[in-house]
Structure 1
Amino acid sequence: MNKEDQVKTVFRDLFNKMVYLNKFKMEDSLKGYKPSEVHCIEYIGKNADSNVTKLAEAFYMTRGAISKLTQKLIKKGLIESYQKPDNKKEIYFRITEQGKVIYKIHEELHEEFRKRDKVIFEQVTEEQFDGMLSFLEKYSRHLDAEIKKQGIDMKSE
């Protein structure tokens, strides 16, 4: 296996291990909520004036799929929609008090996972972090260009 394949394989395995390790705790603490719902709540909680377009771009989902997801969250009382007085066309979302409870539980779980993994990240030098981040950002930009080249427009789907 060449280095490129090794990197991709290790990255995929690492991601799968994180998901596996975190899954049981997340499912137990956030019973009745799908990961997509929780992550949508997280995004809305962290980003003011979230709308369907911003959510679709952030999650690499179609606007139609995001519309369905946000409608589910509204029905569950976790988010609410609003409009700005100066823009009656655009619909934005914010989390409700009930949504803030889910948001807080999710943030506490992430903090627990950060503490669990702190032992390994303490061993990484600034230069190593910089190198990893540089590579990941380059690879991400490459994939963005490939998505664009294929003519995939997340806004219109």
Structure 2
Amino acid sequence: MNKVDQVIIGFRDLYNKLVWLNKDKMEASLKGYKSSEVHCIEYIEKNADSNVTQLAESFYMTRGAISKLTQKLINKGLIESYQKSDNKKEIYFKLTDQGRVIYNIHEDLHKEFQERDKAVYEQITAEQFDSMLSFVEKYNRHLDAEIKELGKDMKSESI
């Protein structure tokens, strides 16, 4: 197996293990909420004036799918929509107090998981981190260019 295959398989295995390890605790702590709902809440909290277009681009989903998702979150009392006085056309979202509770539970779980894995991160040098980040950025730029070359807008299609 060549190094490229090793990297791709390594990333996939790493991701799958993280998901598997975190799944039970996430599901127990966020019972009744789907992963897409929790991540939408997270995005809205971390990005002021979030709208359907931004959410669709971030999650690589259609605007229609995001509209359905945000409507569910509104109905559950987790987010609310608003408009700016200078732009009555665009609808934005923000968390309600109940939505912020879900956001905080999710953030606390991520902190707990990072603490669990801290021993690994403490062994990584700044140079190693920089190298890994550089690789991820280069690979992302390459994939973005490939998507553009295909003439497809991945963000307007569901994965």
Shorter chain as denominator, the TM-score bin is: over 0.9
The 1:4–1:156 alpha-carbon spacing in structure 2 relative to 1, beyond 3 Å, is: closer
Shift of 1:122: 0.2
Give the equivalent residue in structure 1 for 2:87. Answer: 87
CA distance in 2, matches of 1:152, 1:70: 25
Give the equivalent residue in structure 2 for 1:55. Answer: 55
- Matching residue's letter, 1:77: G
- Matching residue's letter, 1:133: L
Root mean square deviation, CA, Å: 1.1
CA distance in 1, matches of 2:153, 2:3: 32
Give the equivalent residue in structure 2 for 1:145. Answer: 145
CA distance in 1, matches of 2:155, 2:103: 26
CA distance in 1, matches of 2:23, 2:80: 27
CA distance in 2, matches of 1:74, 1:133: 36
Within a 5 Å distance, the mapping from 1:87-126 to structure 2 comes to 87-126=87-126
CA distance in 2, matches of 1:24, 1:30: 10
1:39-78 Cα offsets, whole Å, 9 max, x none, are 0000001110000111011111111111111011011110
Give the equivalent residue in structure 2 for 1:29. Answer: 29
Question: What are the ranges of 5 or more consecutive residues in structure 1 without an aligned counterpart?
Answer: none
CA distance in 1, matches of 2:83, 2:146: 35
Shift of 1:152: 2.4
Among all aligned residue pairs of Structure 1 and Structure 2, give the percentage whose two residues are the same amino acid: 78
CA distance in 1, matches of 2:154, 2:102: 27
82-91 vs 146-155, which moves further: 146-155
What TM-score do you get using the length of structure 1 for normalisation? 0.97
Alpha-carbon contact 2:73-2:79 (below 8 Å) kept? yes
Alpha-carbon contact 1:53-1:155 (below 8 Å) kept? no
Shift of 1:145: 1.4
CA distance in 1, matches of 2:61, 2:155: 9
CA distance in 2, matches of 1:125, 1:90: 45
Give the equivalent residue in structure 1 for 2:17. Answer: 17
Alpha-carbon contact 2:81-2:93 (below 8 Å) kept? yes
User: Do structure 1's residue 7 and structure 2's residue 7 form an aligned pair?
Assistant: yes
Give the equivalent residue in structure 1 for 2:70. Answer: 70
Alpha-carbon contact 1:63-1:154 (below 8 Å) kept? no
Shift of 1:37: 0.2
CA distance in 2, matches of 1:48, 1:83: 13
CA distance in 2, matches of 1:49, 1:143: 28
62-71 vs 26-35, which moves further: 62-71
